[in-house]
Amino acid sequence: MIGHWLAHVLGLDNAAGAWASFWSGIGSDLISGTPLAGVAITLLRHHNCHFQWCFRVGRYPVEIDGTVWTVCAKHHPTGPPTHAATSTGGAT
């Protein structure tokens, strides 16, 4: 009984056609979730540390040879900036 109900909820049974139930059931969630995952990955890549293979959130801008890089506290060239340095803009 539960197997039939689960199959119907997931759209795996043949209620209205071979693929109609799938796209009305779990298939629509898969399609709508893909763009959301893409947005989440883009935001993560935009805000993470620019050091290679570092997935921490980059909060501190550092200018190197005219290019501004965003790094985390671990990869900041002078060590983790203090609150006073970041509030006055002296973190670079």
How far apart CA 45 and CA 56 sit, in angstroms, is: 10
Residue bearing the bigger pLDDT, 84 or 23: 23
- Confidence (pLDDT) at 69: 87
Residue bearing the bigger pLDDT, 75 or 29: 75
In the chain, where the domains are located: 2-46, 48-92
Is pLDDT of 37 > 70? yes
User: Which stretches of 1-92 are assigned E, i.e. beta strand?
Assistant: 60-64, 67-71
- What does the pLDDT look like over 38-89, one tens digit per residue? 888 888 888 888 888 888 888 888 888 888 888 888 888 887 666 665 555 5
Give me the half-sphere count of Cα atoms (radius 13 Å) on the Cβ side of residue 71.
Answer: 19
Global pTM? 0.47
- Confidence (pLDDT) at 87: 59
The type of residue at 8 is H
